[in-house]
Amino acid sequence: MSIIVTGGAGFIGSCIVRELNDRGIEDIIVVDHIAQTDKWMNLRNKRYIKYINRDEFLQQLPSFAGTVSHIIHMGACSSTTERDFDFLYKNNLEYTQTLWEFCAENQISFIYASSAATYGDGTQGFDDKEDIRRLRPLNGYGYSKQLFDLWAEKQTVRPKQHVGFKFFNVYGPNEYFKGSMASVILHSFHKITETGEMGLFKSYKKEYPDGGQLRDFVYVKDICKVILYMMDNPQISGLFNLGTGKARSFYDLAAATFRAMGLEPNIKYIEMPETLRPKYQYYTQAAMNKLREAGYRENFYSLEEGVQDYVCGYLAKDCAIY
């Protein structure tokens, strides 16, 4: 049976294809919208049977009935600055609804990407056991993901397995083609290589020092491990946080990057653009009890372990593809 990976040439999707290949699985259909980008480079060392353009895929979807075991849906517009809400609604909500309905009708496992952006400013916490109707995302991207989570919760006809993941701050190899949306680690590595220093935003809240804003940074290899765990356990369904459960500061991240490069930290603090200040998050941390209670026992990479693996194994090797 084939596995469909949407967004399969992108950051997380291509890493999932890597992990599937490492399991000996090559009967994979990659769906993406590569166009004039260099995302095709993420596929050069992968084995799959077919690539289908995102805009053509839904027309072909009925032909996969009875031949597909899983749809792993990582394809979406993931830009938190995207202003075209009509595009987000069509691409992130309606497209995902169509895939859900196909999987429900054909009893196929459906694993998809939600987002921690659904939590908004964090005043409602970051607990995936709480009522998602209370959440108020801060941007159109987060709202488009929230709309699907709310819709899925109401469905009475469901896929054989349905698992959504609220990804927190994911970093790691194969994110090289995300532009401004790539992780701070990638941007830091290039900045340090060019100038020997790194700039971090000043804090505008007295309870946080400059560079002390906190995020739950999660390594992409851990993302893949959890997704494969769900594939191995089709009895599990639900909407889960996917972070480490341990918030770390941007200073810690920058310092770990310097040290992985064999350098002493040289960090300077810069003014945050005024347009960012009203909606800037100072703290995110995934509550991970729900995933643990579902049986996942593997340890997550610490920030230092993940940065070391990423910098030394990939970034320092001319941005090697995983």
Give the ranges where 157-287 is alpha helix by DSSP (H). 184-195, 220-232, 250-260
Residues written for the chain:
322
Q: Which of 95, 112, 119, 141 is catalytic?
A: 141
* Whole-angstrom distance, CA of residue 306 vs CA of residue 203: 25
> What are the structure tokens assigned to 172, written together?
């790691």
Annotation marks residue 141 as catalytic: yes
Point out which residues pair with 10 in neighbouring strands: none
284 phi/psi in degrees, rounded to 5: -140, 140
The runs of H, that is alpha helices, within 79-155 are 85-88, 95-106, 140-154
Query: Cα(9)–Cα(178) distance, rounded to whole angstroms?
Result: 11
- The answer to whether the Cα torsion of 102, 142, 311, 244 is positive or negative is negative
**What separation in angstroms does the CA of 31 have from each of 5, 67, 206, 286?**
6, 16, 46, 29
Active site residue 178: yes
Give alpha helix (H) positions in 61-139.
85-88, 95-106
Question: What phi, psi does 22 have (nearest 5°)?
Answer: -65, -20
User: How far is 185 from 171, CA to CA, in rounded Å?
Assistant: 7
Pair 114, 145: CB distance under 8 Å: yes
Which candidate in 51, 89, 178, 191 is catalytic?
Answer: 178
SS3 state of residue 250: helix
> Quick one: which of 267, 117, 264 has its CA closest to 197?
267
Q: Which residues contact 300 (CB under 8 A, 6 or more apart)?
A: 218, 219, 222, 244, 245
State the catalytic residues. 141, 178
